Amino acid sequence: MADRIGTTVDSVDHTRPETLEDASPSLAATRSPRVTGGTPSDEHAVILELSDVNAYYGDFHAVDSVSLPIREKEVTAFIGPSGCGKSTVIRSINRMNDLIPTARIEGAITYHGVDLYAPGVDPVEVRRRIGMVFQKPNPFPKSIYDNVAFGPKISKYSGDMDELVERSLTRAALWDEVKDKLSDSAYALSGGQQQRLCIARAIATSPDVLLMDEPASALDPIATLRIEELMYELKQEYTIVIVTHNMQQAARVSDRTAFFSVDVKEGQRTGRLVEFADTATIFTNPQHDETEDYITGRFG
Amino acid sequence: MESAFDTRHHYDDELDDIRAALVELGSMVAANIRRAGVVVTEGRLNEVDAVIGADRPINARYHDLEEKVFTILALQQPVASDLRFLVAATRILYEMERSGDLAVNIVKQVRRLDGVPTDLRLDGLVLRLSDASARMFDHAVEAVATMNAAIGIGAEQEDEETDTVTGDLFTAVTERQDAIGLEACVALFYIGRFFERIADHGVNIAQHITFAVTGEFPDGDG
């Protein structure tokens, strides 16, 4: 059960929109067709803002005070050694951690200015707008078609379902490979195809943010590059946040990179954000020695 | 439309953009080299500043492209032909930028020739040299545009004309030193030397392309 979990926002700005509907009545209106290439632009509006986010599992302080903005229609990558909290942070963005009974988030995560942990915010609606793709492809034991149509059916989509399925599969760069076998089981697809199916499933509910937690780590190099190329296409329309163990992948696909590290104190491992900058800076001239040591393979 | 190996369009586009930008930069430099040749042989003092001014956008483009190549090297982990091309691109950028500077250095000598009688200025030799040098450079830019490995393989032979004319010019200058004076001699030596260096940069550019395409640097002392 996704109960609301604790928040400690000191001051509430009452001019901010109170609900997700107020926040972005027309998402289409905020989408510009501009293509940016690999260099991020400060003109892209901040769509998600993490402010002083602390994550706990019971008494265990998993993530210490993370603040960073995520801009729309960019790829933001989280990198860092195991246990640095990057997965915890990405899961907190669409309230996946609500599903873990001992998990607790302090601080604020705002989406279009709305605090995602405010009372009255429906976590199901949060997850519809902020979709997620996981490390291991996890298609439902259903046909290819039904996998994509599943979410829209649940949210009582009233448009042309065939058209929506085709559009979602096309955007996920899978349509041409599956259009003649839509009723086949999703399990008949290769790993890379299954992952693109999961991406199609995630975008079928019209999210505007896609969270990807190690989306290519179970795939072979060619399937990995296809996912990366797909991310480049998808960011024309969606905001993407990716967690990856593969630094080179972060370098290739992202506009901005957040490097997390981990402190070990009295046996407790607490993750923290070390450096957040545009990806070219992180990989050519990082400002922190810890970042330099990690990306050059001298630590972690 | 899709194949299992149909990947990395964005990266391919970036590499294509670098190649196209190298050709554009090379064309800008080539135009200034030709203009420098005209300024020197026709003694157009009033166009000296224009040639110097035209080198500024060349330098700006050079820095911009160098940063782009550096970023691609850092972010895309190029290997094999992509790696060779990008390493060649950094070298080619340097050769082009230096050639642009040499065109500037050439026109700066024009003032030193101002008092020299027309029949003693060796314009015929300077013209032949500037033409040979500009042609070599053009050919190098063509190698980049078409990724033609053969141009680099034949480049040193092609450049022999420049070396021959430069030698002729130096001999002629030495013979006339009493008539034209030391300052004009020095100017003509510099002009000869700079045009010859431009042609050498052209040879190097074409050879870098040979390396990018074949993985082998052409034989010779490059």
Asked if A251's CB is within 8 angstroms of B75's CB, the reply is yes
Bridge pairing between strands A239-243 and A114-115: unpaired
Distance CA(A19)–CA(A89), nearest Å, equals 22
Asked if B4's CB is within 8 angstroms of A222's CB, the reply is yes
Residue B133 lies in a domain: yes
- pLDDT tens digits, one per residue of B125-157: 999 999 999 999 999 999 999 999 999 999 999
Residue A177 lies in a domain: no
pLDDT, chain B, mean: 92
pLDDT at residue A26, rounded to an integer: 35
Asked if B2's CB is within 8 angstroms of A173's CB, the reply is yes
pLDDT at residue B157, rounded to an integer: 93
Which residue of B lies nearest to A251 if distances are taken between CA atoms?
A: B75
pLDDT at residue B9, rounded to an integer: 85
- Chain A partners within 8 Å of B2 (Cβ): 173, 176-177
Distance from the Cα of A51 to chain B's closest Cα (Å) equals 29
pLDDT at residue A14, rounded to an integer: 41
Identify the weakest region by mean pLDDT among A128-132, A135-139, B5-9, B95-99. B5-9
Distance from the Cα of B203 to chain A's closest Cα (Å) equals 32
Across the interface, of A177, A248, A251, the residue whose CB is closest to B2 is: A177
Distance from the Cα of B107 to chain A's closest Cα (Å) equals 38
- pLDDT tens digits, one per residue of A12-44: 344 445 556 555 433 333 333 333 334 576 789
What angle, rounded to 10 degrees, do the helices at B9-41 and A221-234 form? 70
Residue A260 lies in a domain: yes
How large is the average pLDDT for residues B13-39?
96
Q: How many domains, in total, are found in chain B?
A: 1
- Chain A partners within 8 Å of B83 (Cβ): none
Quick one: A279 exposed, middle or buried, by C-beta within 10 A (0-12, 13-18, 19+)? buried
Residue A94 lies in a domain: yes
Asked if A229's CB is within 8 angstroms of B8's CB, the reply is yes
Q: Quote the domain boundaries for residue B19.
A: 9-214
Strand boundaries in chain B, DSSP class E? none
pLDDT at residue A39, rounded to an integer: 58
Asked if A176's CB is within 8 angstroms of B2's CB, the reply is yes
Residue B221 lies in a domain: no
Asked if B75's CB is within 8 angstroms of A279's CB, the reply is yes
The residue length of chain A stands at 300
Distance CA(A287)–CA(A191), nearest Å, equals 38
Q: Quote the domain boundaries for residue A258.
A: 44-138+209-295
Asked if B70's CB is within 8 angstroms of A226's CB, the reply is no
- Chain A partners within 8 Å of B77 (Cβ): 248, 251-252
Asked if B75's CB is within 8 angstroms of A252's CB, the reply is yes
Q: How far is CA B131 from CA B35, B38, B102, B151, B192, in A?
A: 11, 10, 15, 18, 12
Which residue of B lies nearest to A284 if distances are taken between CA atoms?
A: B74
ipTM passes above 0.85: no
CATH code at A239? 3.40.50.300
- pLDDT tens digits, one per residue of B103-117: 999 999 998 888 787
| pLDDT at residue B26 tops 60 | yes
pLDDT at residue A297, rounded to an integer: 85
pLDDT at residue A18, rounded to an integer: 53
Which residue of A lies nearest to B71 if distances are taken between CA atoms?
A: A280
The amino acid at B126: V
Closest by Cα among A6, A41, A48, A3 to A23: A48
Asked if A248's CB is within 8 angstroms of B8's CB, the reply is no
Which residue of B lies nearest to A173 if distances are taken between CA atoms?
A: B2
SS3 A267: coil
Residue B49 lies in a domain: yes
Which residue of A lies nearest to B2 if distances are taken between CA atoms?
A: A176
**Are B72 and B78 a contacting pair, CB within 8 Å?**
yes
pLDDT at residue B122, rounded to an integer: 86
Asked if A173's CB is within 8 angstroms of B10's CB, the reply is no
Q: Max Cα separation, chain B?
A: 74
SS3 A297: coil
- Chain B partners within 8 Å of A283 (Cβ): 74-75
Q: Chain A interface residues facing chain B, Cβ-Cβ under 8 Å?
A: 38, 173, 176-177, 222, 225-226, 228-229, 232, 248, 251-252, 279-280, 283-284
Closest by Cα among B216, B206, B197, B217 to B33: B197
Residue B3 lies in a domain: no
pLDDT at residue A257, rounded to an integer: 97
Reading the block at residue B201, the tokens are: 């940069």
Q: For testing the chain A interface, which of B1, B3, B10, B14 should be mutated: the one with the most A CBs within 10 Å?
A: B10
Asked if A232's CB is within 8 angstroms of B14's CB, the reply is no
Location of structure tokens 């059960």: A1
- Chain B partners within 8 Å of A177 (Cβ): 2
CA B58 to chain centre: 12
Across the interface, of B1, B7, B74, the residue whose CB is closest to A283 is: B74
Asked if B75's CB is within 8 angstroms of A176's CB, the reply is no
Which residue of B lies nearest to A283 if distances are taken between CA atoms?
A: B74
Give every residue of chain A whose pLDDT is below 50, as ranges.
1-16, 24-38
Q: Which residues of A178-202 are buried (b: 16+ CB within 10 A; e: fewer)?
A: beeebeeebeebeebbbbbbbbbbb
pLDDT at residue A286, rounded to an integer: 94
Asked if A225's CB is within 8 angstroms of B74's CB, the reply is no
The β-bridge partners of A68 are: A50
Q: How many domains, in total, are found in chain A?
A: 1
**Residue B40: which pLDDT band, with cuts at 50, 70 and 90?**
very high
CATH code at B150? 1.20.58.220
Residue A120 lies in a domain: yes
Across the interface, of A177, A226, A280, the residue whose CB is closest to B74 is: A280
- Chain A partners within 8 Å of B5 (Cβ): 222
Q: How far is CA A174 from CA A193, A259, B2, B13, in A?
A: 7, 32, 9, 22
- pLDDT tens digits, one per residue of B157-194: 999 999 999 999 999 999 998 889 999 999 999 999 99
% of chain B beyond a pLDDT of 90: 82
Asked if B1's CB is within 8 angstroms of A176's CB, the reply is yes
